[in-house]
Amino acid sequence: MHPAPPRPAALLAVLSAAFLLGGAPPAPAPDALPESALARIGSRRLRPGTPIAALAFAPDGAHLASAGWDGFVRLWDPATGRETRRILAGSERLASLAISPDGRTLAAAGFDRAVHLLDPSTGAERARLEGHAGAVLCLSFSPDGGTLASSGSDRTVRLWDLSSGRPPSAIQAHADIAPAVAFTPDGSAVVSGGRDRTIRTWSRRDGRPLRILKDHGLQVAALAMSPDGMLLAAAGESRSIRIWNAPSGRELARAEGHASGLNALAFSPDGLTLASASDDNTVRLWDPLTGKERRILEGHRHNVSSLAFSPDGTSLASGSWDGTIRIWNLKTFKERFPAEGHDGPVNAIAFAPGGGTLASAGDDGTIRIWDPTAEREIRRVSAHRGFASTLRFSPDGHSLASGSATERAVRFFDPATGGEARPALARGGEIAFSPDGSLLATGGDTIAVHLCDARTGRLVRDLQTSDDPLDAVVFSPNGQSVAAGSSRGTVRRWAAADGKEAPVLEGHLGGVFALAYAPDGSLLASAGEDSTIRLWDPAANRETRSWKAHAGGVHAVAFSPDGRTLASGGSDGTIVLWKVP
């Protein structure tokens, strides 16, 4: 199942409490395997598995910081792409991030309305700045590091004096949301942009207004100033970038080419290049003096939300709602760390009946066939125009069915060739074959599991719930039961013959995205939004084991035919193989 990106506030509250009680987490070893894990297929480099809200390079370029919708700030080594530290910053989704000029303080903020000042070397929170009445959408340090500017959905700009600790100077800046703020390079003023179609400049010393630009028509979402302070760029939902001479307010150029609204702008350290990020999934590079497009950087599969140039200007980092960060080499315009394995979340996994191969499907719309022993990709199939959400082998292994929630279709492929085996069925994205291959169970974002004739697609029976949307579906090995995972963290089970419901299994802290029975039926595996894999004794209706190895939600689980191995796939784009107890 492909979930909505945000993590529920309740789940973040549980995580917050855990870290508050246990202190700041140690620097993780992202590729280290946890206990009981046998192997990992794919890389977690620059793949946090959560939508990215903001990026910032340390002044010395030693690390890249990202802020995610899951409430974590992550530090990455830009030389290797590996995560070096993870810091829980607040109890809700993050929206903004900034690093002080000396690199010793990291500021993060978002929907909990507070600004969190963090020590990047230890992960400790130094201070919590409160005052905003809504989400904090943008942060900017003054060049001397003495003042932090913040702006947000409460329409204000606040100037925090970090040396004195005095209450912030609150400026009633805009008549609508203020998603952008930046200091001028000399530190004497701040510039803010709002959805009220104005760009305003304010005195840092006393907050008085200095200038207003209001005839440009932009609902401003992003601002950037050139390092020499001569150019001001702004963009928003209109797909156009406007560039002004900052001292005079005279418009110099317009840059147009994006197919959707813009979310971020950044000048290169030498001021000769302007980068933009858009909802059209692209990053574009421009000549800021003429507005001429120089290059399009493509690779993200969702809205590109954030940008950051490395201090030496040789690299550009982009973050996206697809849960990935990409670092672009600005000499070759290629990614420094291209994806290994799926280019995005792994949503489904299935072992072939003989156990010699493993199939996976993901957000990138592909099905991949792997040799799990050699951890090597054998074949790749472009299966869907949208993301692939479910994957099942037919009992005889001659057909591989893939469901897509975006297409609302089930497609059938020959796993030996990758060609389509038969026409598609217009059914929901979640699918499961009965053991004899006669029935196909479908579901996904509905309150019912539909049992259909696998050959004709004719509806045989509906298994109903009251109001609990179902995301995953699987038959028991003997075909007598059907299990489904719900968006409320429960596992529901019914008798396939008459629809009688068995006791509900509870334990997950978020939606259950995937289910799998062991071949002998003695275990039922579930996985979901809370990043855990859980093993259940279906006869005793109790949990027996839980594991955690993925960054972000776990979207897929599958047992090997001998029942000794369980495979899991996550939003971090990796597959982990577990030894079943």
Q: pTM value?
A: 0.72
Please check whether residue 383 is in contact with residue 350, taking contact to mean a CB–CB distance below 8 angstroms. no
Q: Specify the DSSP class assigned to residue 313.
A: S
Please check whether residue 380 is in contact with residue 341, taking contact to mean a CB–CB distance below 8 angstroms. no
CATH architecture of 7-41+53-130: 7 Propeller (2.130)
Domain ranges in the chain are: 7-41+53-130, 346-579
Over residues 439-451, mean pLDDT: 69
pLDDT value at position 454? Answer: 67
pLDDT value at position 3? Answer: 41
Check pLDDT > 60 for residue 65. yes
pLDDT value at position 412? Answer: 84
pLDDT value at position 497? Answer: 82
Residues in the chain: 581
- What is the tens place of the pLDDT at every residue in 517-552? 999 999 999 999 999 999 999 999 999 999 998 888
pLDDT band for 21, please (50, 70, 90 cuts).
very low
Beta-bridge mates of residue 172: 156
Look up residue 500 and give its amino acid: K
Least confidently predicted of 178-187, 290-299, 416-425, 495-504: 416-425
Beta-bridge mates of residue 451: 441, 461
- What is the tens place of the pLDDT at every residue in 332-358? 999 988 766 777 778 888 888 887 888
Check pLDDT > 60 for residue 7. no
- What is the tens place of the pLDDT at every residue in 361-407? 888 888 888 888 877 888 888 887 777 777 888 888 888 888 777 77
Q: What CATH number labels 346-579?
A: 2.130.10.10
pLDDT band for 253, please (50, 70, 90 cuts).
very high
What would the two tokens of residue 361 be?
């499907």
Q: Which residue pairs from 161-166 have beta carbons closer than 8 angstroms and sit at least 24 positions apart in sequence? A: 162/105, 162/117
Check pLDDT > 70 for residue 493. yes
d(CA 294, CA 563): 54
pLDDT band for 462, please (50, 70, 90 cuts).
confident
- What is the tens place of the pLDDT at every residue in 76-130? 999 988 899 999 998 789 999 999 999 999 999 999 999 999 999 999 999 999 9
pLDDT band for 20, please (50, 70, 90 cuts).
very low
Please check whether residue 369 is in contact with residue 363, taking contact to mean a CB–CB distance below 8 angstroms. no
Task: Report the run of H or E that residue 392 belongs to, with start and end.
Answer: strand 390-393
Answer with the residue of higher pLDDT: 491 or 348: 491
Least confidently predicted of 1-5, 139-143, 234-238, 305-309: 1-5
| Sign of the dihedral through C-alpha 6, 9, 14, 20 | positive
Check pLDDT > 90 for residue 420. no
Average confidence score pLDDT of the chain:
86
d(CA 156, CA 133): 9
What would the two tokens of residue 204 be?
């840092």
pLDDT band for 460, please (50, 70, 90 cuts).
confident
Check pLDDT > 60 for residue 13. no
pLDDT band for 452, please (50, 70, 90 cuts).
confident
pLDDT value at position 275? Answer: 98
The residues, ordered by sequence, that sit 6+ positions from 544 with a Cβ below 8 Å of its Cβ are: 523, 535, 536, 537, 581
Asked whether the domain spanning 346-579 has the same topology as the one spanning 7-41+53-130, the reply is yes
pLDDT value at position 467? Answer: 63
pLDDT value at position 435? Answer: 85
Answer with the residue of higher pLDDT: 402 or 135: 135
| Sign of the dihedral through C-alpha 150, 156, 157, 160 | negative
Residue that is written with structure tokens 């196909």 in the block? 440
Over residues 230-250, mean pLDDT: 94
d(CA 18, CA 537): 28
Check pLDDT > 60 for residue 516. yes
Over residues 253-264, mean pLDDT: 96
